[in-house]
Amino acid sequence: MTPPPAKQPTALAPAQPAGERPADAVPPRLDSLPPLRVDGRMDRLRARLAGDGIDAAVITAATNVAWLTGFGGSNGTVVVTVDGAVLVTDSRYADQAPEQLEAAGCDAEVVIAGDPAPVGAERFGAASVVGLEATIAWGEQKRWAAATTAELAPMAEVVEELRAVKDPAELARIEAAAAIADEALEEIRPRLRAGVSEIEIQRGIDDAIRARGATGPAYDTIVASGPNSALPHARPTGRELAPGDLVIIDAGAVVEGYRSDMTRTFVVGEPSAETVDMIELVARAQAAGVAAVRPGAAAGAVDDACRSVIDEAGFGAAFIHGTGHGVGLDIHELPRVRSGATAILRPGHVLTVEPGVYVSGVGGVRVEDSVVVTASGCRALTRHPKDPRP
């Protein structure tokens, strides 16, 4: 997936480094993934809140709730105070929530209630400043304001910064998801022939992802052929592939909530000279971007590395999106990887490097890998070959 439009860049909080693995190591198998544990995450959040002058926090974003507690339901609110935590959810999750929290090593109390605000307000105690996630809905915010006399302060990307750095169990799931998408693309490649429609290819990839044990695609799989490939977020259509087409395939899988993200560009039949140039250019830009990923580098330097290659070739105006994004429980998360991004890369960050050029009437080329920052550089999690011949 190409990155979303710009918001404010933020610095990233330090956290534990991730495990190192050789670049050619066999990807983790679904039946032998290490357990996901959330121990220590609540305390890391408390330390961060204390630094921000926040006494208690209300977390409502589903992926943040999942990361903090292990709860996988769609409706949960976590209230974190200096000495405790409570997960408020509804009666559908009366059994699931305590089980999931225990399995993940989370000692938060589970309370079943229709409205989390009065439950949370009771726990705030002497808190004078309560942080509410900035993404909280307006109506919900009003309920919290009515329930407490504490000052409510917006918290932007606090848990998101903490969870940008993945632990080994999280990495194993992203890597397993990436391996499944690699294989799904391998399975579908022989079908990239003139006369096959974009939608048929999309279905084939999605079926192959599910058949390998993933929950499903990580996002709506993109198959964009010929003129459609000039649109970075084209939706698959009934258009049939034709000789000479560029075909962009952007596909990822989900394993236990963790997502992978990869793009490859193929050519149907014989490529034109222009197409060959575009493919060669994007390959060079993408390699330059990956080479710039290392701990201590600013995320913006990765964008610069890709963009300068494309600029020098005179295609600067055809690279119409940012270079990448973090990926994990959400398909787009921190760190952002685009021009001017100041976040400092750390071991355990997982990010995409996905430059592309898009020429109206001709088509587009994008190549994307998900990589994990290691102690010395980075390691690709998506490993499907980059040869544009199907």
* Contact residues: Zn ion, CB under 5 A: 1, 250, 261, 263, 352, 368
User: Which of residues 206 and 250 has its CB atom nearest to Zn ion in the complex?
Assistant: 250
- Report the residue number, 141 or 352, with the smaller CB distance to Zn ion: 352
From the CB of residue 113, how many other CB atoms can be counted at a distance below 10 Å?
A: 15
> Rounded to whole angstroms, how far apart are CA atoms 328 and 170?
8
Q: Nearest distance from residue 371's CB to Zn ion, in Å?
A: 12
For residue 164, the one-letter residue type is A
- Of residues 125 and 216, the one with the C-beta less far from Zn ion: 216
Min CB(289)–Zn ion separation in Å:
12
Q: In the complex, what is the shortest distance from the CB of residue 1 to Zn ion, in angstroms, rounded to a whole number?
A: 4
- Determine the 3-state secondary structure of 389 from DSSP: coil
75 Cβ contact partners less than 8 Å away, ≥ 6 residues apart: 89, 90, 92, 93
Give the integer Cα–Cα distance in Å for 116 and 114. Answer: 7
Q: Which among 299, 312, 306 is positioned nearest to 365, based on CA atoms? A: 306
User: Measured from the CB atom, is 101 or 181 closer to Zn ion?
Assistant: 181
Nearer Cβ to Zn ion, position 170 or 261?
Answer: 261
Q: Are 359 and 229 in contact (CB under 8 A)?
A: no
Instruction: Give least dist CB 381 to Zn ion, A.
Output: 12
Nearer to Zn ion, 48 or 338 (CB): 338
Contact call for residues 56 and 82 (beta carbons, < 8 A): yes
1/185 with CB nearer Zn ion: 1
Q: Which of 324, 316, 319, 317 is nearest to 263 (CA)?
A: 324
Q: Are 8 and 341 in contact (CB under 8 A)?
A: no
Residues 362, 230: contact at Cβ < 8 Å?
yes
Q: Which residues pair with 129 in a beta bridge?
A: 151
Tokens at residue 27, please?
A: 């990807």
* Minimum distance, C-beta of residue 369 to Zn ion, in the bound complex (Å): 10
User: With respect to Zn ion, which residue has the nearer C-beta, 117 or 378?
Assistant: 378
Closest distance of CB 162 from Zn ion, Å: 22
**Residue reference for tokens 């998360």:** 333
Amino acid at 170: E
20 SS3 class: coil
Do residues 158 and 131 touch, judged by C-beta distance below 8 A? Answer: yes
